[in-house]
Each structure stands twice: as structure tokens, then as C-alpha cells.
Amino acid sequence: MLINSYKGFNKLWIILKRGKMLKDTVALGVVGGFLGAVAMALSNSLIYKAGKTEIRYANIAGSIFMRPFRTKQPKNFVLGEMFHLANGSASGLLMVQIFKRFGTDLALLKGSMLGMFTWEALYTAGQRLGIYTAKPHLTKTGYSAIWNNFVYGVVTAYSIRWLAHPSVFSAVEHNATQPESTDSIKNKFYQEPKLEDVEKYTPLH
């Protein structure tokens, strides 16, 4: 069992190191989102230890299952962390769709926008709707949340772009690099006259 686990981690490390290997878009989104969520959790933990935020995301995520004070217990904290990483992994699928629709350029901008969206959708809206019962109150926690979600989105975006096989986004990248044809440019500035317009301005003899 340990040998199989070692082989699995070794294979994953090779994929992460080499990049450009994942063709399956679901696996690509999940792995990229997971890496982003790990980076986000590390950032949140460092900021929490520095006293710049009042709560960790494992506590918030775990509060969906239990009362907030119970998430401080190690076993419950781990459960909350797992749920937080699962949310981040699933959200990576959105980044794949964004890249497939708009291309992989400007990954920093697109990733940061994904981070802000997940912050609003998963945690801010979730707290207002009562899904998460743990509710931070300090302003410094809000600022740290903006930074942590920025980290999540950017790491997710760059991870997906690094891991994606060239064929995954080839169609949108090809369209982005193709110059417009002469006919399409002409059609933008010149329209064929309509029949009624021709009749209106034709002189009578």
C-alpha cells in the first residue's frame, strides 16, 4: 500500500514538474484549484499566526457541519480544511472554462477575478445566507480575505496554464492569433445597400 502511494505521489510530482501533460479538463481544473486552495490555506495560516486575521478558512468551512467553537478541535479543524480544499478544487473548473472561452493570456487578471468571485459566492454570500455559522467581524479579516482569495485565483490560473496540454486550449489560442480577413474588415465598414434605399435614391427619367 505504501509503495502504491509512493508511486502515485511520484507520478503527480512528475506531472507538476513537467507541466503541459493534462488533457482532461475536469482533472485539470481540480488539480489547479487544489493547488490554489493549498496556497490560500498557507497564506491564511501565516497571516493568522501574525495576528492579522481572526479566523482560518478551515474554521469557516467546518462551521457548515457544526458550531463554530467545535471547529477548534483538531479532528474538526481537519474536516473543515478538507471541505475548504474541496471547494477550491471544484472552483478550479471555472478557471478552465474562462480560459477555454477567452484564452490563457492575462492569467494574473483572470485569476484574480476568479478569486474575488469565489470569495463573494462561497464565503461572503454563504455567511449572509447562514450556510456558514462562523462569522468574522474585524476589518483586518476582510483585508486578509481579499489577499488570500487573490492568491487562490492567481495560483489556480497559472497552475492550470502550466499543467494544460497544448491541445486543451488550442482552438481559442488559434482564433486569437489569426488575423482578420480582408472580407471581414470590409464588412465592418461597408454594408450592402438595401433594395428600398436603392429605389429611394434612383433618379426618375
Domain ranges of the chain: 32-56+84-162
pTM above 0.85, yes or no: no
Question: Which tops the pLDDT comparison, 62 or 16?
Answer: 62
Q: Per-residue pLDDT tens for 160-184?
A: 999 998 888 887 655 555 555 555 5
The answer to whether residue 37 scores a pLDDT higher than 60 is yes
- Residue (of 18, 135, 151, 143) closest to 71 by Cα position: 135
Characterise 103 by phi-psi region: left (phi > 0), alpha (psi -120 to 50), beta (else).
Answer: left
> How far apart (Å, rounded) are the C-alpha atoms in residues 78 and 52?
22
Mean pLDDT across the chain: 81
pLDDT (0 to 100) of residue 200: 54
Nine-digit cell string for 120: 463573494
Lowest mean per-residue pLDDT among 5-9, 19-23, 149-153: 5-9
Q: Per-residue pLDDT tens for 81-95?
A: 999 999 999 999 999
Characterise 55 by phi-psi region: left (phi > 0), alpha (psi -120 to 50), beta (else).
Answer: beta
Average pLDDT over residues 40-61: 92
- How does residue 195 score in pLDDT terms, banded at 50, 70 and 90? low
- Residue (of 85, 80, 88, 84) closest to 62 by Cα position: 80
